[in-house]
Amino acid sequence: MVKKVSLLAMAALVSIMAGCGSTGGEQPAAQTPSAGAPADKKEITIGVSTATLRHQFFIDIDNGMKKAAEEAGVKLLVNDPNLDLAKQVSAVEDYMQKGVDGLILLAVDNAGVVPVVEEAKDKGIPVITADSVVPSDKVDTFIGTENYEAGKQLGEHLKKQIEANGKDVKIAVVTHVQSFVQKERLNGFKEVLADAKGVEILNDQPGYDREKSMATVENILQANPDVDYIYATAENSVLGALAALESANNTKTKIVGFDVTPEAAEGIRNDKILAMIQQQPEKIGEEAVKAAIEAINGKQLEKNISIPVILMDKSNVDEYFKK
């Protein structure tokens, strides 16, 4: 009798062990095991809402996120609201309904996304913000450039140039006034130059995409033919300003700005652009995914993870952009 019970117990144990190795039904695609997504845990899904994928900077962030997600073996869902706040909010709401494990948000409007960010966090979903700071203590961490400090760094570089030349100068500004990030870059820049002698900064002018920025700079040059510098606070405003100067055959006015592209790098080599701040967008994307995985796994994150910038001018442009 004892022998019979023992045999039945062993059979039951084998059955239970076999059941642990299979859930039945369809299986998710195999993922490479990693520290971020262990093989014995369910697949991690991260919902991403970027700002736009129409600009190289955000494309590079997206590439960095995809690279890190592939390496970690996690699933990435990406939404592009193309600078539309309502679409971004809707995307986050959709991610909540889908039950994603974490969120990465590149805010279109940093204040406008606060309610949906806090709703997600209240549902237990970790929220990582990148590029633009979202003013909520419920955000797990921000990853990106310290834009105010980067603006100051560029301003210091220009200030030294102005002081070395010893002449009064006039600076025009082309910026996207709705962008919190660009406001930070502009405020840091202006702070440094506020006490500089002989420096006049003209009123801010609108420019975000290349065409609008080109038209804005053309108008600036007509109204202020003696302008010495143009401060363009983003990638496409730099390229629009460059196109306007080339169209006008203007070799006197120089550009300073943010986010170097191959075209802008050529402008640095040709002395049309004095200096630019280069962010590290791919690294921002990579670190955002890594942070999301850590938060999903229960790790407490620092509230601010700063990614260093590079001040690029003629002395070092070839180190980063090959001819």
Contact 136, 118 (CB under 8 A): yes
Task: Determine the Cα–Cα distance for residues 75 and 48; give it in Å rounded to an integer.
Answer: 11
Distance CA 99, CA 75 (A): 13
Q: How far apart are CA 279 and CA 114, in angstroms?
A: 25
pLDDT of residue 51: 96
β partners of residue 303: none
Burial of 293 from C-beta contacts in 10 A (0-12 / 13-18 / 19+): buried
CA dist., res. 213 & res. 78, Å (int): 29
Total H helices, total E strands in the chain: 11, 12
Average pLDDT over residues 293-309: 97
What pLDDT does residue 189 have?
A: 98
C-alpha span between 18 and 14 (Å, rounded): 6
pLDDT level of residue 112 (50, 70, 90 thresholds): very high
Residue 273 pLDDT grade (very low, low, confident, very high; cuts 50, 70, 90): very high
CA distance 132 to 130: 6
Give me 111's structure tokens.
């204040």
CA dihedral 202, 255, 238, 111 (to 10 degrees): -50
The yes-or-no verdict on residue 17 having pLDDT over 50 is: no
Dist CA 215 CA 240 (whole Å): 8
Neighbours of 112 (CB within 10 A): 15
Segment 28-45 shows an average pLDDT of 53
SS3 67: helix
* Model confidence band, residue 4 (pLDDT cutoffs 50, 70, 90): very low
Domain edges within the chain: 45-144+282-305, 147-278
Q: How many Å apart are CA 216 and CA 244, to the nearest integer? A: 9
- pLDDT exceeds 60 at position 220: yes
pLDDT band, residue 8 (cuts 50/70/90): very low
How confident is residue 41, by pLDDT bands cut at 50, 70 and 90? low
Nearest CA to 144 out of 78, 210, 50 is that of 50
- Has residue 28 got a pLDDT over 50? no
Q: Distance between the two ends of the chain, CA-based, in angstroms?
A: 86
**Contact of 156 with 148, CB cutoff 8 Å:** no
Helix ranges, the chain (H):
2-20, 56-72, 85-98, 114-122, 147-165, 180-193, 210-223, 235-247, 262-269, 281-296, 317-320
- Does residue 205 register a pLDDT over 90? yes
CA distance 66 to 225: 46
Compute how many other C-beta atoms are within 10 angstroms of the C-beta atom of residue 211.
Answer: 12
Q: Do domains 45-144+282-305 and 147-278 have the same CATH topology?
A: yes
Residue-averaged pLDDT of the chain:
89
Average pLDDT over residues 213-242: 97
Provide the residue count of the chain: 323
**Mean pLDDT for the stretch of residues 49-67:** 95
Residue 273's DSSP bridge partners are: 255
Asked if the model's pLDDT at residue 13 lies above 60, the reply is no
State in words which class domain 147-278 has: alpha beta
Which residue has better confidence, 10 or 289? 289
According to the CATH classification, is domain 45-144+282-305 in 3.40.50.2300?
yes
User: How many percent of the chain have pLDDT more than 90?
Assistant: 84
pTM of the model: 0.80
Query: What are the beta bridge partners of residue 142?
Result: 129, 304
Please report the pLDDT score of residue 162 as a whole number. 97
How far apart (Å, rounded) are the C-alpha atoms in residues 116 and 139?
11
pLDDT tens digits, residue range 241-258?
999 999 999 999 999 999
Determine the pLDDT at residue 323: 79
pLDDT, greater one: 319 or 8: 319
